[in-house]
Amino acid sequence: MNKKQIITTCCVVLLSVSGASAQQQLRISQAECREMALAHSEDLQRSENALRQAELDRKIAKTAFLPNVDASATGAYVLPDMDMMGMKLRMRGTYMAGINLTQPIYTGGKITTGHRLARIGEEAAAEQLRMTRMDVLVEADNAYWTYIAVGRKVRMLESYHAQMDTLYRQTAAALAAGMATENDLLRIDAKRSDIRYQLQKVQNGADLCRMSLCRIVDVNFDTQIEATDTAFVTSQPDRLSAETAARPEQHLLEKQVAAQKEQIRMARADMLPTVGLSVGYSYYGNLKLNGTADAGGGTMVPYSQKFRDGMGLAMLSVKIPIFHWGESRKKVRKAQYELRNAELDLQKNSRLLDIEVRQAIQNVQDGFLLIRTAETGLQQASENLRVMRNRYAASMAPLTDLLDAQSQWQQAESNLIEAQTQYKIYETEYLRATGRLE
């Protein structure tokens, strides 16, 4: 095999591989779409990390109840020797090592308050995770049903275009036989051009919806997706609850109020005394004292003494704040204002959440009625199109009436597709608004 043949073979293999990858197929249901979206959502992973951090913060706050144990070691080499009343203190290679235990006994409630704050933070992070999860599910459902709707519109326009092609051929044959006018053929051709334009726009939109769905489920953008849950089953919405107590947003607002109450306790703790106990043991060595001593008869002889020993220490400390120019009271007042702001936010946003869930209920109810109206409109448009086709075939109706009937059928079919899709989106939004989207 020569060099040219080798290069040709390699190119063919590469093209076949790239073509295969470009034609990857993925059959996916709504439940599978949700699972893949949850598994690959970066926002959800960040929220999970935030929850893990909050759990660690609570565990860290819990350690404040326990004593702290520290060990230390010190070495020193001091020059020159120090003069101490005629004697020389020598510290060349002196060392000291010890261990110390510190136990807070009373801190004005700061430790218990800090632990409660950490627990509130963990609960808030869990609610934030729930809220992020719901947002991901809403985005996945919107992308899934929108992709199905646009695909149905593509198929509807393709069918409509095929009908117009058939009508064009029939009219062209009738024109050749002298049974139609050239104006009729031009009308049909203009309608075909308009349908091709609409079809191209919808196909482009379908491709964008497909890529959006690919992004959400984290697959290659060249993947061809086939949605399997294409059957729109709708039932009369009944007993839709307007309760918002399960919403994570409501819980987050309540946690904010609870946290601000703890901040007031934390500020008041600065006005209270603190008591702590410290126990330690230290060992030192290689400490020498050189000097001279009277051996009797006025004879001075040199001597040297080395010190190496250990010592224990127990200490109880009490700190009482007396006067700080009103700093602590001002901090308490500031925290009280923050609490009031949190309560106002809860009051305001609770009403907004109530409005949102009532709007979601209204959307579901209106969406169901729109489906019924669109179904009736499609039945009427289909019957009108059938009658007009028969009349046109029998030369009892002009071409314009037939084209109008086809346009009405197209619009009615499009209305039904949009109504069914929007109803599915409204259902998901209602579950999110009531905190039951899981």
pLDDT tens digits in sequence order for the chain, 438 residues long: 454 444 444 443 444 444 444 458 999 999 999 999 999 999 999 999 999 999 999 999 999 999 999 999 999 998 888 887 778 888 888 999 999 999 999 999 999 999 999 999 999 999 999 999 999 999 999 999 999 999 999 999 999 999 999 999 988 998 888 888 899 899 999 999 999 999 999 999 999 999 999 999 999 999 999 999 888 877 788 788 888 889 999 999 999 999 999 999 999 999 999 999 999 999 999 888 888 776 666 677 787 888 888 999 999 999 999 988 999 999 999 999 999 999 999 999 999 999 999 999 999 999 999 999 999 999 999 999 999 999 988 888 899 999 999 999 999 999 999 999 999 999 999 999 999 998
Whether residue 6 lies inside any domain: the answer is no
> How is residue 238 annotated by DSSP?
-
Whether residue 169 lies inside any domain: the answer is no
pLDDT for 14 equals 42
Q: What's the CA gap between 61 and 119, in Å, rounded?
A: 9
Give helix then strand counts, H and E, for the chain.
Answer: 8, 8
Q: Which of 239, 244, 265 is nearest to 113 (CA)?
A: 265
Q: What's the CA gap between 45 and 40, in Å, rounded?
A: 8
pLDDT for 239 equals 82
Q: Which of 375, 271, 250 is nearest to 330 (CA)?
A: 271
pTM, 2 dp: 0.84
pLDDT for 158 equals 95
What are the tokens at 380? Answer: 């009427």
Residue 310 φ then ψ, to 5°: -125, 160
Distance of CA 289 to the CA centre of its chain: 70
Q: Which of 171, 227, 167 is nearest to 195 (CA)?
A: 167
> How is residue 223 annotated by DSSP?
P
Q: Find out whether 300 and 293 touch, Cβ atoms under 8 Å.
A: yes
Whether residue 117 lies inside any domain: the answer is no
pLDDT for 8 equals 44
Whether residue 55 lies inside any domain: the answer is no
CATH at 369: 1.20.1600.10
SS3 of 362, please?
A: helix
Whether residue 437 lies inside any domain: the answer is yes
* Rounded alpha-carbon distances, angstroms, from residue 229 to 78, 116, 157, 210, 226: 84, 47, 21, 15, 9
Range(s) of the domain holding residue 268: 243-272+327-438
pLDDT for 11 equals 45
pLDDT for 186 equals 93
Q: Find out whether 289 and 89 touch, Cβ atoms under 8 Å.
A: yes
Distance of CA 350 to the CA centre of its chain: 22
CA dihedral 204, 210, 213, 219 (to 10 degrees): -130
Q: Find out whether 58 and 119 touch, Cβ atoms under 8 Å.
A: yes
Whether residue 90 lies inside any domain: the answer is no
Which residues does 224 contact at the CB level (< 8 Å), separation at least 6? 23, 24, 25, 26, 210
Whether residue 84 lies inside any domain: the answer is no
Whether residue 236 lies inside any domain: the answer is no
Amino acid of residue 66:
L
Q: How many domains are contained in the chain?
A: 1
Q: Find out whether 154 and 206 touch, Cβ atoms under 8 Å.
A: yes
What are the tokens at 251? Answer: 């819980």
What are the tokens at 140? Answer: 């996945």
